[in-house]
Chains A and B, each alone.
Chain A
Amino acid sequence: MESNILITLSLAILLTSLLAIETRNLRTATIFYLIHSIFLFLIIVSYAYIMKNPTLYLWGLTCFITKVVIIPLIIWHYVKRVPKIEYRPFIGFAVSIFIVTVLTISLFNLFQQVIDFLAPTEESTQEPIRSLLASAFTIFLIGLYCLITRKDAVKTVIGLAFLENGVHLVLLSLVPNLSETTMIGILTNVTVIIFVLLYLSRTIYEVFGSTDTTKLSELKY
């Protein structure tokens, strides 16, 4: 029963990441990103409960402060100042949904099967860590897909955040005994990076009126 909660949550986190990537309206995408982060937080907390590992609650708290509160606020602050709809991505709406759905389902199944290759220890090949790891690697690759196909700075940042969340989940499922300083270090880092990226992007927008990252074409080989 307990492991079912984790599996459900890891599927929910996949679904919300798909929605955040595919939604054209940037404000809605930010809200989906927020829901994604809340699920991430819930995964950490329920994992802590199942594994009876109290240090993980602190991890959950740090994650809540940075990923659920600060990062969505930074993105929201930016989104309010730029056009509501994202720049047209390289791939059309229907095609992208099709690709990303197929990609997610097949990747998730693939990772479920090859987890023995990826997971270094015996216990990590058992449920619920198996599903958690599979969804972690899937989110990582979805983030990469988002970074490659999207032009908008907000979507780029969301893709980057997914990439990092994927690594975060791998870290959670494989090495739950991480020290607090390390964890706070990683989370602070990500927050600052997202702030700097959106700060630069906002300055570009204010000066030149576009956040389309592919139009950043002044620099060539």
Chain B
Amino acid sequence: MPKYGMMIDLNKCTSCQACVTACKLENNVQIVSEDDAQNGRAMFWMKMLTLEFDGDYPNIRPKALPRNCMQCDEPSCIKVCPVRATYKRPDGIVAQIYPQCIGCRYCMANCPYTVKVFNWDRQAQPVQMEKTYDPDVSVRPKGVVEKCTFCIQRLQKASEKAAVEHRKLEPGDYVPACVEVCPVDAITFGDLDDPKSEVTKASRDYRAFGLLEELGTVPKVRYLNAIE
């Protein structure tokens, strides 16, 4: 069983935000109303963050990075879910069972990366908006927590296709939308248990780091620092 992980190379990333848009569209993440957005309820599973600034003006650089769910190996969110709506799959993906979620938001509070978002309202758009939705992904109802799933629907499709073709899932058969669209191939995705996979090689790079690793969450989304 593979263990999926992701490496984001900040040296290659151009902050173009294609990953942000692709994630939003691929996973039918709500475009919330103006009021909700301004009240801090905008929903992005993948988001560009500016964490801090290095140096003094004018020799200054912002530390910007795309941030999605860290897909922790020791996820703090599942420990507090009273109904087991969020769980870790055998392939390492931290998934969410939407019909099971009661909207208590304990998982949101316990996520140190603040990557989970809550459906505060019904989709502000009419149901007919569905035509531009990805037909492989359900739209979550009001009162449910959601987050990045490594585009699990793509894994499902790739697995079905491989099964029909009587073969095993090959590396590259399945990549999340953000990986597919990145114009500079800054995001590497694959099996962390495969020593030959690109993601494993990248994770051994001296530049590799994880966010808030000291908390022991063991994030499977990690970064390669920019080279100055």
**B is a partner of A:** no
**A-side interface residues toward B, CB under 8 Å?**
none
